[in-house]
């Protein structure tokens, strides 16, 4: 009798082994699809009424019944049962319990295969929109920092070795660029998400006069997918989405790592607010950047979703195979981890302070102005490679004398290259060298201010 209760129990004479029920269930992780499942089912019912497969009145009962079931789920009043497998079965069986035969009509012209694909697409579409808002907030936090830190010059690094001086704001706007590409990538992914699976049914479509265009429109999909076989096997959009999340978390972890470094005693560039740091259980003096470390660490969860999904998809024959049920675990974990980082990140960005005194006290270390001097020589007509060599030898001289380039006398400088004039001191020193950077997109103050205006306008437009 227990078997009769199963929606697919008609041809079975033996009850399912309870261990099999536990092994095959997905309700423990797909319950979070309840809201999108109801949205999809309501649209499906409206389509069925539109083509006359159910009456308008039956449709209203179904739409209303589903809304009540969702409310019950959201109140936490739904008892999830392993034997009902998944969220789709729970909602349908609750509907049948309420409406009897009318509830039994809902699944007309569809299958759980197109249903779960639809749910996932609706879920991912919402997730993309939510991520876009998060990323815009994060960009705004960086833009506000860029306004605040406009006067601060910091060392720029390559190979983590001091390279050339740039505006601190150049760093903040660099993150805006990365997160902008992330937003654009998500929008691109959204195009492929926004194709409706509904009505592809199990794998072959249906002999019933369903209207796939109509239901696609109701759910604000751009159009129905053109091949029913492809629909039930397609999880490309999840792999793509996981990749988008992975790059977001790569960018977040680059930022986190940089700030972890800048927060060390060795760098000392950054102060983090107490609210976003934690203490040590044994060392009383410690203040640890755990939030940043976890933002860096959660990339493991996010990035592993990509291989998990690809491995799941590899070699699966058409069309639906139960393997696909595992897709949700990877995607939800990756999405949750990314969203939790993005929720905190803007506040960390806004709350930190640059330790300007400390930055300035060591700004002349590391010959940040060497490239500026080389370019000065080029402007005086010295071939680039010769200029490079000359400045290299001047740096070596400074190292011997334990001094800076700006501390060399004009005679010392002219001893290596007679094209050097007294105006050389206008580009020596880190601040002068930063100010000398004028090319488009460079880290000098004029260009950074220009880009800051671009970002202010871009983010204001989007609001
Ligand atoms: N819980 C299933 C999943 O997540 C729903 C689809 C089941 N389809 C089937 N033919 N058994 O993939």
- Residue 26 beta carbon below 6 angstroms from any ligand 1 atom: yes
Can 13 be counted among the known catalytic residues?
Answer: no
**Res 3: pLDDT:** 42
For ligand 1, what atom is nearest to the CA of residue 30?
4
Residue 460 has phi, psi (to 5 degrees) of -65, -40
Whether 289 and 277 have beta carbons less than 8 Å apart is answered as yes
Pocket test for ligand 1, best of 12, 25, 27, 86 (most atoms within 8 A of CB): 86
Helix, strand and coil in the chain, % to nearest 5: 65, 5, 30
Provide the 3-class DSSP secondary structure of residue 429: coil
Residue nearest atom 7 of ligand 1, based on CA coordinates: 112
- Atom of ligand 1 at shortest distance to CA of 328? 4
Per-residue pLDDT of the chain (463 residues; tens, 9 = 90+): 344 468 888 888 889 999 999 999 999 999 999 999 999 999 999 999 999 999 999 999 999 999 999 999 999 999 999 999 999 999 999 999 999 999 999 999 999 999 999 999 999 999 999 999 999 999 999 999 999 999 999 999 999 999 999 999 999 999 999 999 999 999 999 999 999 999 999 999 999 999 999 999 999 999 999 999 999 999 999 999 999 999 999 999 999 999 999 999 999 999 998 888 888 788 888 889 999 999 999 999 999 999 999 999 999 999 999 999 999 999 999 999 999 999 999 999 999 999 999 999 999 999 999 999 999 999 999 999 999 999 999 999 999 999 999 999 999 999 999 999 999 999 999 999 999 999 999 999 999 999 999 999 999 987 6
Sign, Cα dihedral of 54, 59, 62, 66: positive
pLDDT given for residue 2 in this prediction? 42
CA distance 354 to 112: 54
Are 434 and 447 within 8 A, CB to CB? no
Residue with tokens 């590899």: 314
Q: Phi/psi at 319 (nearest 5 deg)? A: -115, -90
Atom of ligand 1 nearest to the CA of 320: 10
Q: 321 alpha carbon to ligand 1 midpoint, in Å?
A: 8
Whether 159 is a known active-site residue: answer yes
Which is the catalytic residue, given 28, 55, 280, 361? Answer: 280
Pocket test for ligand 1, best of 113, 115, 118, 312 (most atoms within 8 A of CB): 113
| 1 CA distance to ligand 1 middle (Å) | 23
| Residue 87 CA to ligand 1 centre (angstroms) | 10
pLDDT score for 5: 66
pTM of the model: 0.95
């Amino acid at each position: 009798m227990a078997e009769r209760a199963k929606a697919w129990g008609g041809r079975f004479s033996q009850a399912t082994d309870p261990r099999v029920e536990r092994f095959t269930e997905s309700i423990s992780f797909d319950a979070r699809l309840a809201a999108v499942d109801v949205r999809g089912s309501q649209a499906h019912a409206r389509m069925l009424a539109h083509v006359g497969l159910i009456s308008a009145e039956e449709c209203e009962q179904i739409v209303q019944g589903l809304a009540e079931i969702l409310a019950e789920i959201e109140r936490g009043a739904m008892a999830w049962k392993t034997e009902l497998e998944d969220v789709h079965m729970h909602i349908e069986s609750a509907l049948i319990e309420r409406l009897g035969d009318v509830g039994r009509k809902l699944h007309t012209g569809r299958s759980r295969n197109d249903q779960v694909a639809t749910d996932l697409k609706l879920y991912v579409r919402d997730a993309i929109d939510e991520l876009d808002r998060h990323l815009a907030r994060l960009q705004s936090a960086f833009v506000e920092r860029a306004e605040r830190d406009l006067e601060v010059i910091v060392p720029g690094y390559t190979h983590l070795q001091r390279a050339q001086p740039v505006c601190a704001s150049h760093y903040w706007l660099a993150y805006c660029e990365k997160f902008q590409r992330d937003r654009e990538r998500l929008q691109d992914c959204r195009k492929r998400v926004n194709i409706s699976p509904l009505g592809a049914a199990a794998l072959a479509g249906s002999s019933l006069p369903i209207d796939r265009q109509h239901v696609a429109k109701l759910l604000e999909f751009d159009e129905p997918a053109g091949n029913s076989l492809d629909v039930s096997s397609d999880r490309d959009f999840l792999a793509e989405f996981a990749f988008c999340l992975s790059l977001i978390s790569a960018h977040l972890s680059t930022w986190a790592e940089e700030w972890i470094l800048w927060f060390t005693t060795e760098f000392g560039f950054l102060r983090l607010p107490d609210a976003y740091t934690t203490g040590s259980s044994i060392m009383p003096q410690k203040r640890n950047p755990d939030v940043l470390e976890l933002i860096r660490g959660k990339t493991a969860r996010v990035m592993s979703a990509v291989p998990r999904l690809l491995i799941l998809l590899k070699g699966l024959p058409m069309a639906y195979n139960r393997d696909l049920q595992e897709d949700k675990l990877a995607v939800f974990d990756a999405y949750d981890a990314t969203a939790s980082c993005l929720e905190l990140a803007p506040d960390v960005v806004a709350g930190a302070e640059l330790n300007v005194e400390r930055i300035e006290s060591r700004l002349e270390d590391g010959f940040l102005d060497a490239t500026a001097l080389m370019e000065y020589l080029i402007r005086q007509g010295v071939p680039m490679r010769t200029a490079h060599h000359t400045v290299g030898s001047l740096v070596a001289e400074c190292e011997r004398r334990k001094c800076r380039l700006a501390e060399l006398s004009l005679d010392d400088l002219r001893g290596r290259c007679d094209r050097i004039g007294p105006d050389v001191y206008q580009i020596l020193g880190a601040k002068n060298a930063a100010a000398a950077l004028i090319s488009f997109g460079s880290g000098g103050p004029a260009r950074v201010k220009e880009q800051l205006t671009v970002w202010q306008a871009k983010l204001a437009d989007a609001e």
